């Protein structure tokens, strides 16, 4: 049982580190970035709907929030062709939550999310070493939570 716990913690830590390290650079493949972002949006959306909010003590939420922030940062200042390919990936990765009706609003919300100071969350997630979710000063993370809530309310 202890071994399983350590394996799960290692996988979660690796996923977080991958998400955070990707945030440092641009994502090369727009479709892949959109797909990953769409999948993360769908996961957080399901948690959001079942709990009624964004729980920053939930490690699954934090990991997927890192993926959404990565996607949002990848969109910053990109050409229309990149955004179009990214949008196609969003469609595919979001389990039909992102569709033709809301894609413009979702892209706009992601671009706004890229402009929000998310350092409280990214710092906490990057220091995660397994076990319980890292403590996050909710007041410092409020702008990110608000921007994410706006995004989820589009869906």
CA gap 66, 23 in Å, rounded: 8
- Per-residue pLDDT of 43-85, as tens digits, reads 999 999 998 888 888 888 888 998 999 899 988 888 889 999 9
Residues in the chain: 155
CA gap 69, 66 in Å, rounded: 5
> Hey, is 15 helix, strand or coil?
helix
What does DSSP assign to residue 133? P
- Per-residue pLDDT of 78-132, as tens digits, reads 888 999 999 999 999 998 899 999 999 999 999 998 888 888 777 766 766 666 6
List the domain range (segments joined by +) for residue 114.
Answer: 2-154
Handedness of CA 102, 40, 57, 1 (dihedral sign): positive
pTM, full prediction? 0.74
The total domain count for the chain is 1
pLDDT of residue 40 exceeding 90, the answer is yes
HSE-CB of 73 using CA atoms within 13 angstroms: 21
């Amino acid at each position: 049982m202890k071994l399983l716990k350590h394996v799960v913690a290692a996988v979660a830590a690796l996923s977080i580190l991958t998400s955070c390290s990707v945030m440092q650079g641009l994502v090369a493949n727009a479709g892949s970035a959109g797909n990953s972002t769409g999948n993360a949006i769908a996961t957080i959306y399901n948690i959001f709907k079942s709990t009624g909010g964004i729980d920053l003590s939930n490690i699954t939420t934090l990991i997927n929030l890192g993926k959404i922030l990565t996607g949002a940062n990848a969109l910053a200042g990109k050409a229309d062709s990149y955004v179009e390919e990214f949008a196609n990936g969003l469609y595919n990765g979001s389990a039909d939550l992102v569709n033709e009706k809301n894609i413009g609003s979702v892209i706009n919300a992601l671009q706004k999310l890229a402009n929000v100071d998310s350092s409280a969350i990214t710092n906490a997630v990057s220091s995660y070493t397994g076990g319980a979710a890292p403590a996050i000063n909710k007041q410092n993370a409020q702008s990110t939570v608000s921007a994410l809530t706006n995004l989820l309310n589009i869906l």
